[in-house]
Amino acid sequence: MPHTSARSVPGTRTARSVRRRATRRRATLVATALAALAAVPSVAAGSPAGPLDGPGDGPSAPVAPMGIGDRLFPHLGNPGYDVTSYDVTFEYHGNDKPLDAVTTISAHATDTLESFNLDFTNGTVRSVEVNGRAARFATAEEDLVIAPQIMVPERGYFQVTVHHTSDPRGQGKGGWIKTSDGLVMANQANAAHRVFPCNDHPSDKARFTFRVTAPKDLTVVANGLPRGHTHDGPETTWEYRSRHPMATELAQVAIGRSTIVRRRGPGGLPVRDVVPTAERRRLAKWLAKTPAQLEWMEERVGRYPFETYGVLIADATTGFELETQTLSLFEQDLFLESRLPAWYVDSIMVHELAHQWFGNSVSPRAWSDLWLNEGHATWYEALYADQHGEMSLDKRMKWAYGMSDAWRAQGGPPADPEPSKPGQPIGIFRPAVYDGSALILYALRQEMGKEPFERLQREWASRNRDGVASTEDFVGLASDIAGRDLTGFLHSWLYDRKTPPMPGHADWKATATTAAKQPPTKQSPAQAAHAAHPLHPAQAAKQTAKAPGKQAPPAG
């Protein structure tokens, strides 16, 4: 259960308060959603709002999108229910054709539901059933509005089954990503509903089962553990199931000519890596690093929180790496680009691994809490590089401090980021939530002391395992462990436009006052902050004379 505290941090909103407001808004829209029949056999998700299709009677009225009111993504998520599980079936016909799909969602109603919404776009809805009965449905922007024949009572359990397509074409907004011979998923932050109908907000986590049918010469992997596969003529159906709840943005299904490499991690943990078969030998040395990296993380934050781990290496141009749950996604060129120093690649592997604790097992209540994900992942990335690489933690944090005012001016403070521009959902992944947020953790360690800070890290991961937590929760736990109220100290670091003084480093100056040195956000969201890093190629010329022969990482 997430830690709660009586302390409050100005500017924060809990998921409960967000959902209360969304529920009130939902009540005003229920009557609107009960629209008349439309004589069409299917509906294209993402099309303009229209009348509900399906069995039933009622006056004609438009339907409307909803959302739980997240400040950064106000139309994501839906009030009135909590999802407990997803069962998603795909039939793959090639990476340039829509997949046939069936998504079954099990949920508990938190309100009486005459109608309810799912997030979905980029596919065609063929039919909808609620508790085995055909239901009326329509689309409203990126929502699928559903009216069951029989009202779902408050606290009632229900299942909704949607027969639909899932279209990998029209890339650029996330969801399916084409590889050289198949597909992978990259749903962060708001793109899972471009793949399957869902309650697409990290505050509503659920267990997942994936069943995927593909040509028998291809390999399919997904989150969780395999449940077996069956052959039927030229096709094979693969099944995977997760033991732990997962946010929709962390879902992963990969289809292609891949090899699964299995080994054991700490305590016998199953480690499975998925690599393009043609590059298996060249990638082998990188795959062998994962067990030691798992052990390194466990020494610092406790036992790995899931049933399996591994890396998924895609022959695709993504420009980023992504912490999909139990199976982190990596771009192949990160490993095969020879000019990258090995210690740098290692630290990026640790960044995605750290997310399994920070962001996956403990998920954000709202997207404004993103700094808790990326700040911790960047912290352990930097700590690993300090111990195994050629960049000291103090040097990196001093550099980040110098850039911090510019980052805050560019996109807002770490815990109060400005919304991204229309059509640029990954715009929230700015340097302030990466190195700028790791800087907050450095300042907190300076203020608390090393031992209490390390205890905070372990307690945060263990108390909130499989749950969601907020900035307010983190401030409360830090204060409890420190034995004094840290609200004022952390508020300045989290919400102020100017970077506070660094404890123990009065000589550090935030000298960068413009955004001119900032990395372009259109590049790697997982590594955007590195584009302005002293080891980035743009800075390499300045270091060549001092460190001849050393090479630097690329943008993204």
Our separate counts of H helices and E strands in the chain read 12, 22
3-class SS of residue 157: strand
**Of 401, 397, 378, which is closest to residue 528 (Cα–Cα)?**
378
One digit per residue, the tens of pLDDT, for the chain of length 556 reads 332 232 233 333 344 444 444 444 444 444 344 433 333 456 666 655 555 665 554 333 447 778 999 999 999 999 999 999 999 999 999 999 999 999 999 999 999 999 999 999 999 999 999 999 999 999 998 999 999 999 999 999 999 999 999 999 876 678 999 999 999 999 999 999 999 999 999 999 999 999 999 999 999 999 999 999 999 999 999 999 999 999 999 999 999 999 999 999 999 999 999 999 999 999 999 999 999 999 999 999 999 999 999 999 999 988 889 999 999 999 999 999 868 899 999 999 999 999 999 999 999 999 999 999 999 999 999 999 999 988 899 999 999 999 999 999 999 999 999 988 776 666 789 999 999 999 999 999 999 999 999 999 999 999 999 999 999 999 999 999 999 999 999 999 999 999 999 999 999 999 765 543 433 333 333 344 444 444 443 333 233 222 322 233 222 3
Query: How is the chain split into domains, by residue range?
Result: 41-174+181-250, 345-544
With contact defined as beta carbons under 8 Å apart, do 494 and 509 qualify?
Answer: no
Half-sphere exposure of 30 (CA within 13 A, CB side): 15
Kindly report the CA angle at 406 between 400 and 409, in degrees rounded to 5?
135
CA dihedral sign, ordered 403, 404, 407, 409: negative
Pairing of β 225-232 and β 235-241? antiparallel
Please report the pLDDT score of residue 46 as a whole number.
60
3-class SS of residue 234: coil
Rounded CA-CA distance 351/348 in Å is 5
Residues 269-304 as b/e (b if ≥16 CB within 10 A, e otherwise) read: bebbbbbbeebeeebeebbeebbebbebbbeebbeb
Rounded CA-CA distance 214/212 in Å is 6
Please report the pLDDT score of residue 63 as a whole number.
73
Backbone angles phi, psi at 437, to 5 degrees: -85, -35
Please report the pLDDT score of residue 548 as a whole number.
27
Q: For residue 542, give both structure tokens.
A: 């300045």
**CATH 3.50.50.60: does it fit domain 345-544?**
no
Strand partners, 260: 274
Please report the pLDDT score of residue 550 as a whole number.
27
Rounded CA-CA distance 190/33 in Å is 24
Amino acid at 63: V
Amino acid at 37: L
Which of left, alpha, beta for 103 (phi over 0: left; psi -120 to 50: alpha)?
beta
Please report the pLDDT score of residue 535 as a whole number.
46
Q: For residue 96, how far is the Cα from the chain centroid?
A: 25
With contact defined as beta carbons under 8 Å apart, do 7 and 485 qualify?
Answer: yes
**Of 280, 47, 7, which is closest to residue 142 (Cα–Cα)?**
47
DSSP 8-state secondary structure symbol assigned to residue 431: G
Amino acid at 2: P
Half-sphere exposure of 31 (CA within 13 A, CB side): 1
| Alpha helix ranges (H) inside 266-369 | 280-287, 290-301, 333-336, 342-355
Q: The pTM is what?
A: 0.86
**Of 482, 441, 456, which is closest to residue 3 (Cα–Cα)?**
456
The count of other CB atoms within 10 Å of the CB of residue 241 is 18
Please tell me the CATH superfamily of domain 41-174+181-250, with its number.
tricorn interacting facor f3 domain (2.60.40.1730)
Q: For residue 328, give both structure tokens.
A: 């982190």
* Strands (E) located in 343-475: 362-364, 467-469
**Of 216, 212, 220, which is closest to residue 256 (Cα–Cα)?**
220
DSSP 8-state secondary structure symbol assigned to residue 118: E
Rounded CA-CA distance 203/359 in Å is 11
Residues ≥6 apart with Cβ < 8 Å to 452: 481, 482
Please report the pLDDT score of residue 66 as a whole number.
87
Three-state helix/strand/coil letters over 81-136 = EEEEEEEEEEECCCCCCCEEEEEEEEEEECCCECCEEEECCCCEEEEEEECCEECE
Rounded CA-CA distance 415/413 in Å is 6
Which of left, alpha, beta for 179 (phi over 0: left; psi -120 to 50: alpha)?
beta
* Strands (E) located in 348-420: 362-364
With contact defined as beta carbons under 8 Å apart, do 86 and 61 qualify?
Answer: no
Rounded CA-CA distance 309/271 in Å is 5
